[in-house]
Amino acid sequence: MLTESRLRRNIVANYFGMFVSVLLPLVTLPVYLNALGPQLWGLVSFVGLFVGMLSLLDAGISQAMVKEFAERIARKNDGSQRVANLLFGYERIYWLFALVISIAVLPFANFIVTRWLDLGGVSNEMGRYTIYAAIAIFFVQLPGSIYRTVLVGIQQQVLLNKLLSIFIIIRHGLGVVLILLWPSLLVYLMWQVACAFFESIVRAIYAWRMTGLPRHKATWDGAEILTSLKFSLILACSVLLSILTMSIDKIYLSTMLPVEQLGYYSIAFNVAINLLRLVHPMHAAIQPKLVALQCQPDEIRRISFKLLRVTMAIVVAVGIGYIFFGGPLLNVWLRNESATAQIHSVLDWLLIGTAFNAIYNIGYINWVAAGKSREVLAVNFVSILVGVAVLPVSITQYGMKGAGVAWMVLNAIGLLFSMGWVINKKEVHA
C-alpha cells in the first residue's frame, strides 16, 4: 500500500536524484567541451543519440513494466513470488536482446562513419572507435533498465535514487579528473562503458534483494511474461514513436549539418530536457498511485489537477528565471562566447517545447496508469508524421533554430491530444 508519507518520501528522493543527475553533468560539461573541443564533443553527443536509438524499444516496455510490477507487488499472498518470476524472465530477455542488437549493429560502424556523419577534421578511425564504444555502452546499459523498473514499481525509489546519485558522482566526478589528466575521447568513452557496466550489476543485486526472494527461487513463467507483454508491446511501439519524435531533430541534424553543430544543439537540448526533469520526480512517484486508484476516478481527477497546478507553477518560475538570467548564466557556465551564442539561438524554442511536454506528461501518466496505450500510440504517430514532413525543410532553411522550432511544434501536438482528462471525467480511467 502506497501511503501518503511513503509517497512524499519517494517524491523527495526523486528530486534529490534528479538534482544530482542534472547538476553534475551541467557542471562538468564545460570541462569536457573545452578539453575535447567542439568536434570531439559532437561525437560524444552522437554516442548519446545512437545509444538512445538502439534502446528505443526498451523505453516503452520499461514504462509499462512499472505498472506490471506495481500491480503484482500489491498482491498479499503471492506478490513477491510473481515479481521475482517476472524479473527472472525479463532479465534474460533484456540481456539476450542487448547481445543480439549489439552483434547486428557492429558491422555497420564504417557505414555510419562514412555515410551518415560529417566528421569534419576528425579521422574515420576515431569515428569507428566512437561507434564501437556506443555499442558497448548500449550492451551493458540496457539490462540495467529492467532492474531500475523493478525498483520503481515496488516503491523502492529512495534506494534507486541513492544508487543513481552515487554512480552519477562516480561517473562525472572521476570522469573530469580522468579527462583533465588524459584529454582523450577514447579515455572518456572507456570510462563511460565501465561505469555503465558496474551500475547495471549493482542495480541487479539490489533489485533482486528488494523482491524478497533469492534468484534461485524464481522460475521462468511464460504465462506471466505473455500477460505483461500484451500491454507492454503496444506501449513500447507508442513510446518508440515518442522517442523518435524527441530524437528526430537530432537525427536529421546529424545527417544535414557538421557534427560540431550537433554538439552545440545537443547541449541546448540537454539544458531544456534537464529543466523538464523538474516535474518528472512528481510524475514518477504519483504514477503507481494512479494505478492503484483506477476504481476511484474522482480521486484521480483531484490528484491530476493538483499535479497540473504544481507543474504550471514550476513552468512559469523557470520561464521567468530564464527571461531575466538565461543569457548571463549561459556565459558563466560555458565560458565560451562562440558556444554560448550558438546555443542561446536555439534554446528559446526548445524551452517552450519543454513547457508543453511537462504539461502533456500529466495526461500521459493518466493514460499509462489506465492501460490506455492506443491513445499514446495515436499522438506519437501523428507527431512523427509531422516531424518527418517539417524537419528537413526547417533545418535546410534555418539550421539549428529550425530544428528547435519544429521540436516545439511536435510537443504542442502532444499537449493538445493529452488534455482530454481536463474536460472529461471518464478520460482518467478505463
Q: How far from chain centre, in Å, is Cα 56?
A: 10
Q: Which tens digits make up the pLDDT trace of 325-358?
A: 888 888 888 877 888 888 888 898 999 998 998 8
Provide the residue ranges of all domains of the chain, joining segments of one domain with +: 4-428
Residues whose CB is less than 8 angstroms from the CB of residue 9 and which lie 6 or more positions away in sequence, other chains included:
158
pLDDT category, 429, cuts 50, 70, 90? very low
**What's the pLDDT tens digit per position in 220-275?**
877 777 777 666 666 666 666 666 777 788 888 888 888 888 888 888 888 888 77
Q: Are 400 and 264 in contact, with CB atoms under 8 Å apart? A: yes
Residue 226 · residue 232 · CB < 8 Å: no
Instruction: Give the cell for residue 173.
Output: 566526478
Asked if 90 and 215 touch (Cβ cutoff 8 Å), the reply is no
| CA separation for the pair 137, 180 (Å, rounded) | 22
What's the residue count for the chain?
430
Q: What is the residue-averaged pLDDT of the chain?
A: 83
pTM for the complete prediction? 0.69
Q: Tens digit of pLDDT for each residue in 264-298?
A: 888 888 888 877 777 777 777 776 667 667 677 77
Is residue 40 within 8 A of residue 185, CB to CB? The reply is: yes
The percent of residues in the chain predicted with pLDDT above 90, rounded, is 21
Q: How far from chain centre, in Å, is Cα 39?
A: 24
292 against 387, higher pLDDT: 387
Count Cβ atoms below 10 Å from residue 14 Cβ, excluding itself.
Answer: 23
Three-point CA angle 300, 301, 307, nearest 5°: 90
For helices 259-276 and 222-256, what crossing angle results, to 10°? 130
Lowest-pLDDT range, 44-53, 136-145, 415-424?
Answer: 415-424
Is residue 303 within 8 Å of residue 289, measured between CB atoms? yes
When pLDDT is averaged across residues 131-158 and rounded to a whole number, the result is 89
What number of other Cβ atoms are within 10 A of residue 5's Cβ? 8
- Report the chain's C-alpha Rg in angstroms: 21
User: What percentage of the chain carries pLDDT values higher than 70?
Assistant: 88
d(CA 272, CA 225): 37
Q: Which ranges in 215-336 belong to alpha helices (H)?
A: 222-256, 259-276, 280-292, 297-334
